[in-house]
Chain A
Amino acid sequence: MSEVKYLTEFYHLPEFKGLEGYKKNGGYVQLAKALKMQPQAIIDEVKASGLRGRGGAGFPTGMKWGFLPKNDEPRYLLCNADEGEPGTFKDRMMMEKAPHQLVEGMIISAFAISCKKSYIYVRGEYDDSINALEVAIQEAYKAGLLGKNILGSGFDHDMDVYRGAGAYICGEETGMISSLEGLKGQPKLKPPFPAVQGYLKKPTIVNNVETLAAVKYILRDGAAGYRKYGTEKSAGSKLFSLSGNVAKPGNYEVPLGYPLKDMINVLGGGIKNGKKLKAVIPGGSSAPVLTAEEALKATLDYENLAAAGTMLGSGAIIVIDDSKCMVECLANLTHFYHHESCGQCTPCREGTGWADKIVHSILSGKGRLQDIELLVKVADNMKGRTICALSDAAALPIISFVTKFRDEFEYFVREGKSKVKGTAYKGHAYAATASH
């Protein structure tokens, strides 16, 4: 197996960003075709393609669309471009290099679910993405690809961009809906699911950038053609964001089922600076960590990573070399989750706070052996009892780090210094980063 250029075929062409260059390379042909189809036929094709959401949870896209009520109540399509999962930077590339690919995928998807208004919610820091999308949307309106009676089909659709303002939790779909409504980005209890009651209490489909961009290719190649890449349960290709201690970090598109080993050693050029592989977080910071040994056996698909006790998540692969201290790495993540908890649920608010305190006390040399057990207990109590999945996302790394690299935690407690670095941790004043 090797790298593929399926969604990314024309990303090397700067002209692909503009409407003209996009059209020259097959752009908006599928939209014209879609508008002549029965909407239900498009949904059926997406179902048959096996496309699963690329935002993190991997939920089957066609099935999600099928949850919309079968009536003519107004509904919304919301593209999740919040991309806050640490390690993930693929959506940004897609929006900057191929904004029309997303716009076309969204118009087709909107037509399939009979939706007249869509939003792209982009994280506030992504200035270049926002600009690229705003230009693309304007171009699309001028060319009659958005607005009233698109390409003479009788289908009307409006699209707009909404800028986030710096909160990881707005990547969670119900938090995003609250934010788009102009409120604090606090998640809401499900059910009702957004497909039934979402933005302004209307049915709303939330999908990731990469998911919506893929829809056009399913139409072009048909469900069977789309399945030429991937496995039975993980159809298609996917973009992976590779980062950490590899020689050639970056975004790589590969067929699902691609060996993680090759991602690191072939595409990523191996571990840099002559170090050795120690650990890999395969699906964004919320995914349980794999040891080097586990990582070298894993393949990048939903089922294999689940069997390995972790997840594909957003496709962010963070590689850690053997000179790095796992206590310090975990402390980095507990700080993140504590900072990003929206504070509504006690187990999450208190749990992320306690976990962060305990790991930092170990780091500062003040840890006790029973703190390691306590840490796992705190994490266990954070699972499965909250409004949204952030609490679980915070708990899983803690449990996996402590279980798999226990010797490093114990050494730190006993010796007051890092097992790998041989030195005590130099404290860092984190007071400057505000908490919600």
Chain B
Amino acid sequence: MFQLSPQGKEKVLAELKRYESRQSAVLPALYIAQAENKGYISPEVIKELSRVMELPEANINEVCTFYTMYNKEPVGSHHVQVCRTLSCMLNGAKELSEHICSQLGTHLGQKTKDGKFTVTEVECLGSCGTAPMMQIADKYYENLTHESAMNIIRSLK
């Protein structure tokens, strides 16, 4: 059973009052809940939000499945998102993500055995002038080489 922390609940209630329509609070609420549930949204999270927000589960669930930034499955404690789109591809993004996967002994979308990392490829992150690049948590890492990317990844606890 997932339950929002008292602070989390307070934040969700504040979002409900923030916009003209209560439904607008669904996107922010999913972010708040995701942060409190090890980085992903499970059916229990939807239930809890539905209860706290007094909105039908279906309204929350369909929003959750539409957007890529809500993880539907558990991810490793570090989610390494390598941009795959054209400007990055032209600068070696595909080779970079293959290198990272092989160094970590994993495949795209698969948690590493120690549960520490998940590597995925994502679409253009608006950092095309500093390609290739990746995002881990909220942070952008740009102008990567195979070495610099692995140094960054290995430095994560």
Our pick among A128, A182, A333, A433 for the contact of B120 (Cβ within 8 Å) is A433
By the criterion CB–CB under 8 Å, are A316 and B67 in contact?
Answer: no
Whether the Cβ atoms of A167 and B125 lie closer than 8 Å is no
Q: Which of A135-168 contact B (CB under 8 A)?
A: 160, 162-168
Contact (Cβ within 8 A) B86 A329 = yes
Do B85 and A89 have beta carbons less than 8 Å apart? Answer: no
Query: B27 at interface (Cβ–Cβ under 8 A)?
Result: yes
Instruction: Indicate whether B23 reaches chain A with its CB closer than 8 angstroms.
Output: yes
Q: Nearest B residue to A328 by beta-carbon distance?
A: B89
Interface residues of B in 66-108 (CB under 8 A from A): 66-70, 72, 84-87, 89-91, 94, 98, 107-108
Partner of B85, one of A183, A320, A332: A332
Contact of A243 among B28, B98, B129 (CB under 8 A): B129
The reply to whether B127 and A86 contact each other, CB–CB distance below 8 Å, is no
Q: Are A434 and B26 in contact (CB under 8 A)?
A: no
Please, which residue of chain A has its CB at the minimum distance from the CB of B69?
A166
| Chain A nearest CB, measured from B33 CB (Å) | 13
A123 with B90, Cβ < 8 A, contacts A184-B62, A332-B85, A436-B66 known: no
> Which residues on A sit within 8 Å (CB–CB) of B94?
428
Chain A residues contacting B30 (CB-CB under 8 Å) are: 165
B56 to chain A, nearest CB (A): 12
Instruction: Give complex CA distance A328, B94 in Å.
Output: 11
**B123 CB within 8 Å of chain A:** yes
Given the known A-B contacts A165-B27, A180-B24, A241-B128, are A86 and B86 also in contact in the complex, defined by CB atoms under 8 Å?
A: yes
Shortest beta-carbon distance from A238 to chain B in Å: 16
Chain A, residues 274-308, CB within 8 Å of chain B (1/0): the string is: 00000001000100000000000000000000000
B126 touches A126 (CB 8 A): yes
A84 adjacent to chain B (CB < 8 Å): yes
Closest residue on chain A to residue B97 by CB atoms: A428
Query: B interface, by DSSP: helix, strand, loop or mixed?
Result: mixed
Asked, given contacts A125-B69, A244-B90, whether A183 binds B130 with beta carbons under 8 Å apart, the answer is: no
Interchain CB contact under 8 A, A181 and B126? no
Tell me the chain A residues, 312-371 only, with Cβ under 8 Å from chain B: 316, 318, 320-321, 324, 328-329, 332-333, 335-336, 339-340, 342
Whole-angstrom CA separation of A183 from B62 in the bound complex: 8
The smallest C-beta distance from B138 to any residue of chain A, in angstroms, reads 4
Query: Contacting B31 at CB < 8 Å: which of A86, A163, A183, A241?
Result: A163
Q: Check A432–B68 contact: CB distance below 8 A.
A: no
Q: How far is the CA of A318 from the CA of B129 in the complex (A)?
A: 10
How many angstroms from the CA of A321 to the CA of B91 in the assembled complex? 11
Contact pick for A182, options B23, B72, B123, B135, CB 8 Å: B23
| Residue of B whose beta carbon sits closest to that of A435 | B68
Tell me whether B124 is interfacial, beta carbon within 8 Å: yes
A117 to B131, CA, bound (A): 37
Taken together as a complex, chains A and B put the C-alpha atoms of A430 and B65 apart, in Å, by 19
Q: Hey, which chain B residues are within 8 Å of A329, CB to CB?
A: 86, 89-90
**Contact A86 B124, beta carbon cutoff 8 Å:** yes
Asked whether A57 is an interface residue with its Cβ less than 8 Å from the other chain, the reply is: no
Tell me whether B122 is interfacial, beta carbon within 8 Å: yes
Binds B, one of A35-43, A245-253, A254-262, A410-418: A245-253
A332 touching B129, Cβ below 8 Å: no
Produce 1/0 per residue, A170-203, CB < 8 A to B.
0000000001111111000000000000011000
9 pairs across A/B with beta carbons < 8 Å?
Answer: A127-B138, A165-B68, A243-B128, A244-B91, A249-B129, A249-B130, A250-B129, A285-B85, A432-B107
> Which 8 A-B residue pairings sit nearest by Cβ, starting from the closest?
A432-B109, A165-B67, A166-B68, A166-B69, A182-B23, A243-B128, A432-B108, A243-B87
Which B residues have a C-beta under 8 Å from some C-beta of A? 18-28, 30-31, 62-63, 65-70, 72, 84-87, 89-91, 94, 98, 107-110, 120-131, 135, 138-140
